[in-house]
Each structure stands twice: as structure tokens, then as C-alpha cells.
Chain A
Amino acid sequence: MTRPQPRYRRSLGDLSERALAFWLLVPAGLLLGLIALYPVLRLVYTSFFQYQLTLGPEASFNGLENYATALRDARFWNALKNTSLIVLITVPGALVVGLGLALLANLPFRVKWPVRLGLLLPWALPLVFVGLIFQWFFDSQYGVVNDIIVRLGGERQFWLFRPDLAFWAICFTIIWKTSSFVALILLAGLQTIPKELYEAAEVDGASPFQRFWRVTLPLLTPAILVALIFRTITAFQTFDIPYAMTKGGPGNATETLAMYVRVTSIENLNFGYGSALAVLLFLLSMAITVVYLRYVRGADE
């Protein structure tokens, strides 16, 4: 069931379509060019240099050596593993939870604001502080989580320094924070689905479940796609929450790639290697996102 899409006749435009498209894209190009072009080129350029300020301020070209180092670096592989797991767990997690939140927030409650605000607040709470608040929640002694567990008769857990528990605590926090972002986008998508379609489906005798599968989900696909793309990208960039909750510990058990990039460049002043790690992180998220991008709807379809 899709909306009618009459073929568009080109003669309607004033400018030729290509020229109009070009001029509409210029402001975005200028803005991104000003902000991102030089930094990104510079980053890629630096990644081919031995440039470690703790050994001296000079940079020397070393080709692909930084990349070769990364492939031999156990800490890189460990961070890659953690990052991939976070992507695999928190992207679908946030999507499912976010979809649930959005469906609920779209119901015809008489007073809408409590649910809407409940959906919005996690997104509005600054990321750094979300990490610190949940570190506190998961604290073994002063945390709400253990307090509730103990009140229910359970055993106190050391959430943040048992590697597996720490990892799940981090994933939980990420899903809590980011499902709100997903829900915002999906809620907007739901709001544009015409009520008539539901009414028509109901007349046809479809159950709520069937209505969800046959009306909601297909029409929501574009919004889901957008949420998925950006949730994936930000999941690859995961930094603040694990940094605040565990600093990557115990040991390096919860260190992500973005944390390793930051430590390498900012703390250790190894800009060459840090840049190479950042480029690898980019290539990785690009490889996955390009697949999604093919499905973004446009005039050509």
C-alpha cells in the first residue's frame, strides 16, 4: 500500500532541473566544505606520516606504515571488537526500543506531553552527563541499580568492573540514550501516515498487528532507514558513555575505537597513528553505511 505518485512533468520548472538541483545543493556544499574539507584532507594526509610529538615536532613521510602498525596492534583489534559489538547490540536495540516508544507516543492520549517528554528527555540530557549519571546508577555501593536489586532480595553486583557486566551496562546506557533519538525520527514518520489508511484497513477487518505490518511498517521504512544510518554512524563513534562509565576498563575491556583514537592523538600526541586509526574508523562505518544509502528514496526511483 503506497501513496499515489503521479509522474512528474519536467516542463513545470523555470530553471532546468539539473541547474536547479545544483544551486540547491551549493549552500550545503559550501558549509561542509568550509568546516570539513580541509580538516578531513589534513587528517588523511597526516595518516601517512610518522608524526609523534613526544619524539619531536618533525613529521616524516612513512607511507602506509601507520596502517600496517594498526593491523599488528592488539589494542586496535580489541577496540575494534568492542566497537563492533556495541554497533551490533545497540543499533538493533535502540531501533526496537525506539520504535516501541514512537508507537506509544503516537497513540491518541488525551494528555500527550508526559509520554512525549519521557521520549524526549533522554535525548536532551547531554551525553557526557548521561555517562556520569549512569556510572553513578551502576555504582556497586551508591547506585540505584544495586539498591533495587538488594531491595528485591538479590545480590549486589559489581557492574562496572566485571568486564561482561560493564559491557552490558554500557550497552544498556547507550540504548537508553539513543532510542530517544530513533523514537523522535520515527514519531515524525508516524505523524505523516494518513489516518484514512488505518480506517480503510480496519474496514477490511485487519487486526492491529496486521495493520502494523501492512500499513505502518512500509510507510515508516524511509524514516527507519534514516534512523538506522545515523544510529550506526554514531555507534561507531561511541566515546562519551564508556569514557565516563569505565574509562575503557577494567584493563582495556571496554575501550572503543573512538576512545583509542582520542587517547592516541590528544594524550599520547601521536597524531600520525591517531589519524590512521581515525581513517580506519571512517572506512569501516562508510563500508556499512553505503549499503543503507542505496535504499534512500529519491526522484529516480
Chain B
Amino acid sequence: MNPFKNLRLWVWVAAAIVVVNGFFPSVWIFFTSLKLEGELTRIPITYWPENPTFQNYLQAFREQPLGRYFLNSVIVAVASTLLCVGVASLAAYALARLHVPRRNLILSLLVGVSMFPVASLMVPLYQTFNELGLRNNYLALILPHAALSLPVATLTLVSFFAGIPRDLEAAAMVDGSSRLGALWRIVVPLSAPGVFTAAILAFVNSWDEFLLASTLLPAKAMRTLPVGIQLYQGEYVFPWPLISAALVVALVPVALVIAVFQERVVGGLTQGGVKG
């Protein structure tokens, strides 16, 4: 029985607004990627491209090794996400489930690091990775990206872990699981939507990050997508159609993977889900 039956029309209208609102800029970018530059200063403006062309995509791949950039982004984003969510789960379990002295201080320290503008930390960060000999090594980006998302991932997980009924965990431990076993087998799966959200946040943070990537992985073979895409610019020119094509290449796979993952995997996990 659908509790929202009487609201059905309004729900559809609202859903349409969400879809248009969320999709419009991305669709605009897609349309732009099919246009030639001359069409962008047309009066009145055009929405649907006049003579759709895939030329920009060809040129985008010809001018820059976009495939390589994509691979670098995948490596960095996947590795930093796994590291971040792994470390965050452990910390979040302690903060949500155990008696931690000076808990508020620890939370403040954790959250506090994300309150400095990254730009003002660049010089010492650069020095650190230079000293470690890690420049132009994937680790030079994986570690800071994981650290960057650690606060938000940890706090997200704390809020979910704290909501898992303790008797479920206790039952598992009575069955002979260790505490950590219970964390991996009971708490994490039951918090699937939370873990998944933390992972999306970390993944997208890493996927989009520009400043650290351009400074710590500047070599051509190591560039990530945001760094590579900025290189289609010139001193004075910003070729939107070309950059749009590169953005579509960067955006579509991520959006699809996340959408499919959410529908199939997380949907499945929650349905087996929490009984309060």
C-alpha cells in the first residue's frame, strides 16, 4: 500500500523538477560538446546543436592522452577511496561504539584539519612529498586524497554505526566472533547505505580534485583528468566544445557506475536490512 497515493501528482511534478534541475547542466555540457565554437556566441542562443558533430571528441582524444588520464584518475580515486573508507570504518567504530576518552577533542581534531584552505598548505605538503621521494608517484595523491575525505567519511560512518542495534552485534559476538569480526560482518553491512555514501563522497572528492593533483603529480604520464582537462585551454582561450567533450568522457562512466551500484548493490543490502 502506497502511503503517498493522494500526493501522487505532486510527487511526479517534484520528481520532474529534480531530474531537470540535476540533469540540465550536464545535458547542456553534452549538447555543447556536439557544437562548434561559433554556435556559442549566436544570438539568440541555441540549445539543441544546429549541426551535431562528434569532431570535438576526436580532437579531445587526439590532443591529449585522455585515456591515460582516465586510467590515472581511476587508480588514484579507487585506491584513495578504499584506504579512506577502511581507515574511517575503524575510527568510526571506536568513536561510535567504544568508550573513548576525550572524544570531543578527537572529533574536533579530526574535523579541524578540513578547516584550512588546502591552497595555504601547499608549500609544506609539497616539501613533505618531495622529501619522501614520492612526487609523481600515485601514493603522493592517494594519501592526501584519502586524508582529505577522512573526516567526512568518518563522521558519516559514526552516525550510521551509532544507529545499529547493539543486540545484533552482541549476538554475533556470543556466536564467537571477535569484536573486529562483528564490525566487518554485522556493523559494516548493516550500515551499507552509510558506507556506500562515504565511498561516493571520497571517490568523487578524489575524482574532481585539481590543486593537489596538479602540484604533486605534474608529469604528463601521471596527470589525472581534472589536470588534463584544464590543458585544453590556452592563455586566452577556453574552448568550451572541446572541454565539454572531455568533461562528458570524465563524467558519464562515473555517474553510470555509481547509479548502477547504488540500485543493485546497496538496494539489495538494505532490503535484507535493518530490523529496528
Contacts and interface: CB of A to CB of B under 8 A. Distances in A.
* Any A–B CB pair closer than 8 Å: yes
Contacts of A109: 15
Interface in A162-178: 176
A62 interface: no
Given A32-B147, A194-B275, A226-B155, A121 B26 contact: yes
A42 B240 CA distance: 39
B21 A5 contact: no
A223 B159 contact: yes
Given A4-B165, A6-B170, A299 B100 contact: yes
A34 interface: yes
Given A32-B110, A294-B104, A296-B107, A237 B226 contact: no
A125 B147 contact: no
B117 A237 contact: yes
A49 interface: no
Nearest to A285: B115
A133 interface: yes
Interface string B226-240: 100010000000101
Contact of B23 (A38, A108, A118): A118
A222 B23 contact: no
Contacts of A35: 125, 128, 143-144, 147-148
Interface string A96-127: 00001100110111001111111111111111
A90 B152 CA distance: 19
A250 interface: no
B270 A28 contact: no
Interface in B1-41: 2-4, 7, 11, 14-15, 18-23, 25-26, 28-29, 40-41
A85 B197 CA distance: 29
A59 interface: no
Given A18-B98, A22-B94, 4 more contacts: A31-B87, A124-B255, A143-B45, A188-B196
Interface of B: 2-4, 7, 11, 14-15, 18-23, 25-26, 28-29, 40-41, 43-45, 83, 86-88, 90-91, 93-101, 103-104, 106-117, 119-121, 123-125, 128, 143-144, 146-148, 150-152, 154-156, 158-160, 162-163, 165-167, 170, 173-174, 178-179, 190-191, 193-194, 196-197, 200-201, 204, 207-208, 210, 226, 230, 238, 240, 243, 247, 250-251, 254-255, 258-259, 262-263, 266-267, 270, 273-276
11 contacts: A18-B101, A39-B116, A100-B14, A123-B200, A125-B25, A144-B28, A192-B273, A223-B159, A233-B111, A239-B119, A296-B158
Interface of A: 3-6, 8-9, 12-15, 17-18, 20-22, 24-25, 27-28, 31-32, 34-36, 38-40, 42-43, 100-101, 104-105, 107-109, 112-130, 132-134, 136-137, 141-144, 147, 176, 180-181, 184-185, 187-189, 191-192, 194, 196-198, 202, 208, 211, 219, 222-223, 225-226, 229-230, 233, 236-237, 239, 258, 261-262, 265-266, 271, 274-275, 278, 281-282, 285-286, 289-290, 293-294, 296-300
